[in-house]
Structure 1
Amino acid sequence: MSTDSRQDSQPSRRRFLGMAAAVPLAAATANLTLGAGAAHAADSAYVMGYFTESPSGLGTDFGLHLAVSTDGLQWMPLNQNNPVVTPTEGAGGLRDPFIMRKQDGTFVVLATDLKGTDWNYNSQYIHLWDSTDLRTFTGYRRLKLHDMVTHSWAPEAYWDADRGRYAILYSSVNSSGRNVIMVNYTTDFRTVSAPQVFFDAGYDVIDANMTVGVNGVNYMVVKNNEQEKLVNTRSTSLDPGSFVPFGTPTAHGGTEAPTVVKSLTSNTWYMWGDTYRPNGIFYAWQTTDLAAGTWTELSQRDYTQPLSSKHSTIETITSTEYDNLVARWGKPVWNRLKSYNFPNRYVRHSNFAARIDPYPFDPYTDSQWKIMPGLADSSGVSFQSVNNPTRYLRHYNFALQLDVNDGTSTFAQDATFHKVPGLADAAWTSFRSHNFPTRYIRHYSYALRIDPVSTATDRADATFSIVY
């Protein structure tokens, strides 16, 4: 569970799933069990589950949201970033969803039984759904994990081949008053064994994420809830009590919700973490050696999280499953624009002036744009505001602002731009003015304008990524 608004003395919890390399996962480790379940040789894309929160709550929703990706780094929300299913029992909402492909190839969804931030809501249950394809969800139920007067936070699961059962890990408070990682075993996600303490670090820990069977070693990352860092642990067995911390803790601000995933086309491992200081930003790290226990942070240029996403889960899927999910839930009708040299900032309008601001912010809809055929030239583009649909980005005295389309030729030309390969990076995009073709959209002191471009700084200021 996210701890974005919790007091320091309160137990925080989060698990975030991130994904693989800039190249699609393939079959190189098809026999490994990677956290949620066995990797499938045919898998070539990814699905992410999450709930949503935004700084003032405008984008907050405690249902299951889905996004897809072909590289595990750039994510496309489905269903216009609306939930695909929402709990109807317990608290009536979820946090911390977890999607796992079971041994039979179908999916199970687990989630914390909590809506909002009432950290004193002590549910002994978790939410569950079954799904054959993540297009329909059946068998909704709550599963009771224990009889303690405490919570069942951030459930995750993995297949324990030696036991022939699935293990459900989650965070609960023990008799000493601190969070530990608990485990229940199940074969059907309908009945479970008695709870056991799986990992007790001697300090408050939450958000366990398991990677099973790497060169005979099992790895689990947890959040040290007192230091707000991600801690590596390992064991040569999956027995409760056998995991031991090692290596160097990882953090970027207050970091939680770790997820470790391996690229199936390289020897690179990725770990994702969700932060709540500042709130709701995902960071990613990489290593080529899990046994080393050290992680190197990636640039935010390399990945883009779904809008307003919190506490994510990621599972690999086939290309057919990817296509079917997009067909069922639909692509977004909007885009966002990420700055190249300030990749934590996105183009938005504020008081009708265009600028780049750090993500996240509200109204989050200020950063959503419908990229339309150019008003003056259909080979170009115009940017229609999502939350002010009568208004478009246009330049006026070379400054970009959001104005109502008055139907004039001048407005149409001022609001039309031509996409060209990014001036600082050809894999990105720059936008040349239609009626001032020597000028490009760029930011200057974070405000957007059209200017001639000559220096390396100019080129970086004028380069953007079209994302969701």
Structure 2
Amino acid sequence: MLHAVSRSRKLLLALLSLLTVGLVMPLIGAAPAVAAPPYSGYVMGYFTESPNQSGDSYALHLAVSQDGLNWTPLNQNNAVVTPTAGTQGLRDPYILRKQDDRFVVLATDLKGRVFTENNQYIHVWDSTDLTAFSNYRRVRLHTMNTHSWAPQAFWVPSRNQYAVIYSANNGTRDVVMVNYTTDFVNMGSAQVFFDPGFNVLDADVLVDGGNFYLSYKNMDNGNLYVARSTTGAPNSFTTLTSGLKQGGAIEAPILVKSNTTNTFWLWGDSFAPSNPVFYAWQTTNPGGNSWSTLNQRSFTAPINAKHATISPITSAEYTRLLDRWGAPQWNRLKSYNFPDRYVRHASNVARIDPFPMDPTADQQWRIVPGLADSAGVSFESVNFPGRYLRHSNYELRLAQNDNTSTFRADATFYRTAGLADSAWASFRSYNFPDRYIRHSGYVLRIDVLSSSSAQTARQDATFQVTR
């Protein structure tokens, strides 16, 4: 009996052991599930143009942001990679995070401001984290006698493929075309993706849960629109908005979702090649028709940026981008009550002028320790090193530092909390401590201001230190 019990116990233990191994072994052999890291920042890709073309750069530029609204251009706002084939220039870059958590960069193969040339190809790069770029190639999208503008891509789970969409003319009108690919090398055949019956341009798709939101420009009336599909399939989109527009002309919509709130932004930039100005709206319901205009006080785009792309990034990726490319060694000063204007020098007069402006460097300043007191600051010109903003007869001018005590005192200011908004900045004169830098008739001067000064005067004396 004891032997039988012992044998039964051994058998039971053996069975339990086998069951345990059977349960555990698959867990040991399976790859652990890794949660996607949270996104805490954003990267923007763009090319640049300026009014007199001196700031034109048909190559990929990058900027980063922590809040998705205020941007720090990288590499001194210089290009990080330039095409070497085709036209040897790019427009309309697009950055996509692929399913393997690496990036692919797409761009229009076009250099300059002439849009009559047809091109069946686009530029493509691969990148692990946008600190380097590899496998540069041009891929062919179609055989039509038309262009391939503003390529963009998104993942379609039902197809297990990426959709690459772009603007082209199908022989009837301007539509959005699509090719499906798994590797951005073999692009598949082209087909119509979005044709609402009128000319459209610059499509952008944001995938949010089970919704595919498509923004586009209606070329017949010049407005931007948002449409939605629950499948992302060709010709499955229904337009939701009644049309959005700011400025004289607008194009290149970008849909972005906030990393931290249920806020969606719609960006667009000026159609005029010589006027690289961004506009923006926001909503908490992209499926509705309730976009509110963002004041330009709320955001700052990189200098001369055109037709951008915005993608969320992790904290580690944000840090690597800054470490690799570097933040600018200069700042700009944005006016609080005229947020489309920045402090610049013109014929040595300090003033606020509308952006954009040429030369670009007229609005760039090195904010250095105060010449008379290192606890203060002085503003050195980027394009005229050794020249600083100083007051003379209470007006601010750009002047060569003669290293006298009077010059050093006139060129030194104390940064304080903004008189109109404490999140911004105001600048109090070192040697006339009851006076602050302000604009009057768009010209900068130092005036007596106090807490009882008129609201307009306090706004005139408030600036955002940005890049």
TM norm structure 2: 0.90
What percent identity do the matched residue pairs reach?
A: 58
| Cα shift readout 1:361-405 (whole Å, capped 9, x = no counterpart) | 111110000001100001100000011112100000000000011
Note if contact 2:90-2:123 (Cα within 8 Å) is conserved in structure 1. yes
Structure 2 partner of 1:200: 195
Higher relative contact order (CA 8 A, sep 6+): 1
Higher share of residues assigned helix: 2
Aligned partner (choices 216, 241, 250) of residue 235 of structure 2: 241
| Cα shift readout 1:216-238 (whole Å, capped 9, x = no counterpart) | 43221111112111012222222
Query: How many Å apart are 1:260 and its aligned residue?
Result: 1.2
Corresponding position: 1:104 with 2:103: no
Matches within 5 A, 1:37-116: 40-116=36-112
Corresponding position: 1:466 with 2:462: no
Distance 1:397 1:148 in 2: 66
- Quick one: which amino acid aligns to residue 403 of structure 1? A
Query: How many Å apart are 1:40 and its aligned residue?
Result: 4.7
- Quick one: which amino acid aligns to residue 123 of structure 1? N
Distance 2:47 2:241 in 1: 31
Structure 1 partner of 2:147: 151
Distance 2:395 2:445 in 1: 4
Structure 2 partner of 1:451: 447
Distance 1:444 1:463 in 2: 12
- Quick one: which amino acid aligns to residue 258 of structure 1? P
- Quick one: which amino acid aligns to residue 463 of structure 2? F
Distance 1:425 1:329 in 2: 32
Distance 1:103 1:419 in 2: 46
SS at match of 1:279: coil
Structure 1: 5+ residue runs without aligned partners?
Answer: 1-38
- Quick one: which amino acid aligns to residue 223 of structure 1? K
Note if contact 1:53-1:59 (Cα within 8 Å) is conserved in structure 2. yes
| Cα shift readout 1:317-371 (whole Å, capped 9, x = no counterpart) | 1111111111111110100000001101000001000000010111111000000
Query: How many Å apart are 1:41 and its aligned residue?
Result: 4.0
Note if contact 1:249-1:294 (Cα within 8 Å) is conserved in structure 2. no
Structure 2 partner of 1:395: 391
Distance 1:323 1:232 in 2: 33
Query: How many Å apart are 1:290 and its aligned residue?
Result: 1.4
Aligned partner (choices 260, 269, 280) of residue 264 of structure 2: 269
TM norm structure 1: 0.90
SS at match of 1:413: helix
Query: How many Å apart are 1:429 and its aligned residue?
Result: 0.2
Note if contact 1:248-1:294 (Cα within 8 Å) is conserved in structure 2. no
Note if contact 1:374-1:417 (Cα within 8 Å) is conserved in structure 2. yes
Distance 1:127 1:352 in 2: 43
SS at match of 1:260: strand
Matched length: 428
Corresponding position: 1:379 with 2:375: yes
| Cα shift readout 1:194-242 (whole Å, capped 9, x = no counterpart) | 000001121110111112244x432211111121110122222222111
Structure 2: 5+ residue runs without aligned partners?
Answer: 1-34
SS at match of 2:240: strand
- Quick one: which amino acid aligns to residue 109 of structure 2? D
Structure 2 partner of 1:13: none
Distance 2:440 2:311 in 1: 40
Distance 1:184 1:209 in 2: 15
Note if contact 2:58-2:89 (Cα within 8 Å) is conserved in structure 1. yes
For the pair shown, the structure with the greater C-alpha radius of gyration is 2
- Quick one: which amino acid aligns to residue 315 of structure 2? S
SS at match of 2:241: strand
